[in-house]
Amino acid sequence: MAISDLHISYEENREIVRGLRPETPDDWLIVAGDVAETVADVRWALGLLAERFAKVVWVPGNHELWTMKDDPVQARGVARYEALVALCRELGVVSPEDEYPVWTGEGGPVRITPLFLGYDYTWYAPGTSTKEESLAYAHNTGVVCTDEYYLHHDPYPSRDDWCRARVAETERRLLGCDQSVPFLFVNHYPLVREPTRVLHYPEFAQWCGTELTADWHTRFNTAGMIYGHLHIPRITHHDGVKFQEVSLGYPREWRRHGHPHGVLRRILPTPSRV
Ligand SMILES: [Fe+2]
Ligand SMILES: [Fe+2]
């Protein structure tokens, strides 16, 4: 099963998380980022889910990586990510720093591959072709991601430097895996830009991924891709590979349409109608 963007600082969303249960005792749960902003809230949600599901696999969203004034954990950047990874280890939750677990149940074998890659501002705003132009465009329209103020990149010089380092290291790890078992990629952001084309503000795409992963779903033996962040739950296909946006989203978003796809999405075995 999969879900993302729990955003449990909203009480209505916390209530939904309280109600999340597996359908069978063997179900694994993918949590594709944006659980909460404080480490205590992340602990509450992942701890509860880890008690209920046979295995929980988490990747960080941008919100977990924010350092907010009211969080007693003031770690920034890489140190904050490492604190979250340590929390996962304590709770028995799989993070991108662990060995990628292979699902051998129905629909397997599939290598569940949690990724932490970030973004590098290469999904430029309309009519721009550099990071500087793209950011200037966003500052002009006023559509600037809050990451610019709360998602710190220490000790890297920039968020894009951190992203490039993560991509290079991840690529090395993927190449070291047995390529005969297909990867099910899990990342807070889609590996390709196409799903961002429907964004109401196209300039927001620069905070949603990187060109560096544009060919991963064709280069590697890929069973599918699970992501969130856009708060636009849907399924798309790119070069024949199924990409699923599995976000819950903010109450103001899900109140409008309810949960037409269900709150938890079944990924494997593949539901027969999609
Ligand atoms: Fe989100
Ligand atoms: Fe996000």
Give one DSSP letter per residue of 120-141, joined into a string.
-S-SPPTT--SHHHHHHHHHHH
pLDDT per residue, tens digit, the chain (274 aa), is: 999 999 999 999 999 999 999 999 999 999 999 999 999 999 999 999 999 999 999 999 999 999 999 999 999 999 999 999 999 999 999 999 999 999 999 999 999 999 999 999 999 999 999 999 999 999 999 999 999 999 999 999 999 999 999 999 999 999 999 999 999 999 999 999 999 999 999 999 999 999 999 999 999 999 999 999 999 999 999 999 999 999 999 999 999 988 988 999 999 998 875 4
How far, in Å, CA of 253 to CA of 231, rounded?
8
pTM, rounded to two decimals: 0.97
What's the CA-to-centroid distance between 146 and ligand 1, angstroms? 12
* Interatomic CA distance for residues 109 and 180, integer angstroms: 10
How many angstroms does the Cα of residue 44 sit away from the middle of ligand 2? 19
Beta strands in 159-240, from DSSP E residues, in sequence order? 183-186, 222-227, 234-238
Q: Please report which ligand is nearest the Cα atom of 6.
A: 1
CA of 145 to the centre of ligand 1 (A): 11
- The dihedral over CA atoms of 1, 10, 234, 131, expressed in degrees to the nearest 10, equals -110
Residue 113 and residue 184: Cα distance in Å, rounded?
Answer: 6
- For 137, phi then psi, to 5°, come to -55, -45
Q: Residue 65 CA: which ligand is closest?
A: 2
Query: Under DSSP, is residue 147 helix (H, G, I), strand (E, B) or coil?
Result: helix
Distance (angstroms) between ligand 2 centre and the Cα of 62 equals 5
Q: How far is Cα 124 from Cα 138, in angstroms, rounded to an integer?
A: 10
